[in-house]
Amino acid sequence: GIQVEQSPPDLILQEGANSTLRCNFSDSVNNLQWFHQNPWGQLINLFYIPSGTKQNGRLSATTVATERYSLLYISSSQTTDSGVYFCAVHMNTGFQKLVFGTGTRLLVSP
Amino acid sequence: EAGVVQSPRYKIIEKKQPVAFWCNPISGHNTLYWYRQNLGQGPELLIRYENEEAVDDSQLPKDRFSAERLKGVDSTLKIQPAELGDSAVYLCASSAGQGSETQYFGPGTRLLVL
């Protein structure tokens, strides 16, 4: 099956710092989503991004589907950004199955 | 607009007992998903419904797990009997259609089997 690898696995930032999270996938995909799972376990949609670049406030994402990777940028990080960030891909097969990556655990300290 | 609703939020049971989880998707969403998330891992799909039809249940352990989506709206996921290894968070998600639309997740049910 498809492999979805995220890096780094863990990241500690000082409040105000910037960071880049990476998602690599092993096969062609129909689409890609980025999620933030907060400390209470809620998965929050960040981006639905098959290709190109999108921005939402301090967050932006870029997907290069032909090279099988996506990047999530967090600028001016805040303590509320802490949690786990997942990318998830829609497989390019008959069933539209969402496969999650390994996750990046982010801790932003004040 | 209300999001995906799940209940209960937490459940503690002894092994071999039955347990059920309930999900109400976003209004108008035809596609409903059940995922299981083990500690430290990403969610994994258990079953996907298009309206009331289960179209992908290949990852559902059918010896002890069952699910239903009567009338194509609410859904129930059941485990009988529960085993220690079933301890996990059970997440429900919904999307507007069977294409690559965005999936929206509920808060999940945290199950602990003792």
The predicted-structure confidence for B14-38, as pLDDT tens digits, reads as follows 999 999 999 999 999 999 999 999 9
Query: How large is the average pLDDT for residues A10-20?
Result: 97
User: What are the E-state strand segments in chain B?
Assistant: 5-7, 10-13, 19-24, 31-37, 44-50, 53-56, 65-68, 75-79, 88-95, 104-105, 109-113
> Which tokens belong to B26?
């976003």
Under the banding of pLDDT at 50, 70 and 90, the label for residue B77 is very high
Instruction: List CB contacts (< 8 A) between A98 and chain B.
Output: 33, 45, 103
Whether the per-residue pLDDT at A44 is higher than 90: the answer is yes
Q: CB contact, 8 Å: A96 with chain B?
A: yes
Q: Tell me the pLDDT of chain A averaged across its residues.
A: 92
What is the SS3 assignment for B28? coil
Of A39, A49, A42, A40, the C-alpha closest to A87 is A49
Question: Across the interface, do A97 and B45 touch by the CB < 8 Å criterion?
Answer: yes
- The per-residue pLDDT of chain B, averaged, comes to 92
Closest CA in chain A for residue B89: A41
- Measured CA to CA, the distance from residue B69 to residue B91 in angstroms comes to 15
φ, ψ (nearest 5 deg) of residue A20: -130, 125
For residue A31, pLDDT over 70 is answered with: yes
CA distance B86 to chain A (A): 17
Residue type, A40: W
Record: contact A95-B56, CB cut-off 8 A: yes
Beta bridge partners of A7: A22
Residue in A50, A98, A103 nearest the CB of B45? A98
> Do residues B81 and B16 lie in contact, with contact meaning Cβ atoms separated by under 8 Å?
yes
Helices (H) and strands (E) counted in chain A, each on its own, are: 0, 11
Tell me, what's the pLDDT at B1?
64
